[in-house]
Amino acid sequence: MFKIQIKSKSFQTPDNTMNHVLQNLEFNIKEHDFISIIGPSGCGKTTILRILAGFDNDFDGSLLYSPNSDNNYEKFDSLGKIGYIPQEFSLFPWLTIEKNIRFGLNIKNIPKKEQDETVDRLLDLVGMKEYRKHLPKEISGGMKQKIAICRALAINPMSNLIVMDEPFSALDAQTRNALQQDLLDIWRKQKLTIVFVTHNIDEATFLSKRVLVLTKLPAKIIKEFNIEIPHPRSRTNLEFNKIRKDLLSYLN
């Protein structure tokens, strides 16, 4: 189990004034959780993910981890230990699909045989075995994001935790809906723990077990929703629409 405690996080602007972004923000991430973070544009959602992924250590607070989920937390450095999927298409364009997935495994000096098994298993998971020798420019946007998930999973992240920063925002509505379903399948099969940033209320309601709603700057959590509708969820379901309306009212 993870715990994120951010007392405050500020940025220095080019004219040397301090921009206070996050304030008194704390939440837990349980095993096999699916948390979405929503909030107004520029409220610091991505900053939370960057802190969680270990890119940004310049904040007042700490990242905590409880190996046995028994509330005995210890500080930990998450960089290189949890999966990260950014907003833009991020596959390295000069590497084939297969080599993209191998990247982290090579960095960690994983033996070739083990790498082969991992690549096969992950390509099989997303049904893209025949694309292994393709270059990223030769596959669609949706496929790129699936491979980005495979690449993040290849390094065997701590507690299967993956953080995703609006990963489907560059896709058309149809592809986005299909990928949301695919993501849920992978989440269930691989017992993943996901922290998902989105500005799309419908997406957050469709995917998440919990939704954290942030305020404007300096952002803090104003409401935490537990969504108990079982997966697969129907967008026409009454309860689904009620949650969506509630989320919208908090955002407004």
Partner 1 sequence: MINQNQAKTQKINQSKSSIKSKNRKISTILNFAYFLLSIIVFIVFWYLLVFILQLFYKGVRVVPFPHETFKSFFYLLIYKIDGYTLWNHVGGSLLRVLIGLFYAFIVAVPIGILIALNRHLDRIIKPIIELLRPIPPIAWIPFAIITFGLSTVSHAFIIFIGAFFPLVQNTYDGVRQSTKVYQDVARSLGASKPQIAIEIILPSTFPNIITGLRIAIGVGWMCVIAAEMMGISGAGIGYFINYMKNIGHYSNMMAGMIMIALVGLLINGIFLLIEKYLLKWKLGE
* Nearer to partner 1 (CB atom), residue 37 or residue 162: 162
Q: Is 86 in the site for partner 1 (CB under 8 A)?
A: yes
Angstrom distance (rounded) from CA 140 to CA 125: 17
* Nearer to partner 1 (CB atom), residue 79 or residue 178: 79
**Radius of gyration of the chain measured on its C-alpha atoms:** 18
Q: Is 210 in the site for partner 1 (CB under 8 A)?
A: no
Q: Is 11 in the site for partner 1 (CB under 8 A)?
A: no
Query: Going by C-beta distance under 8 Å and a sequence separation of 6 or more, which residues neighbour residue 41?
Result: 199
Angstrom distance (rounded) from CA 95 to CA 101: 9
Q: Is 52 in the site for partner 1 (CB under 8 A)?
A: no
Q: At closest approach, how far in Å is the CB of 95 from partner 1?
A: 8
Residues 150-189 within binding reach of partner 1 (CB under 8 A) = 151-152, 155
Angstrom distance (rounded) from CA 124 to CA 91: 18
Element counts in the chain: helices (H) and strands (E): 7, 10
Q: Is 135 in the site for partner 1 (CB under 8 A)?
A: yes
Edge-to-edge strand ranges of the sheet holding 193-197: 83-85, 161-165, 193-197, 34-38, 210-214, 221-226
* Nearer to partner 1 (CB atom), residue 54 or residue 141: 54
Q: Which of 137, 189, 226, 238 lies at the binding interface for partner 1 (CB under 8 A)?
A: 137
Q: At closest approach, how far in Å is the CB of 79 from partner 1?
A: 6
Are β-strands 60-65 and 34-38 bridged in parallel, bridged antiparallel, or unpaired?
A: unpaired
Residues forming the site for partner 1 (CB under 8 A): 53-55, 79-84, 86, 88, 90, 92-95, 103-104, 107-108, 135-137, 148, 151-152, 155
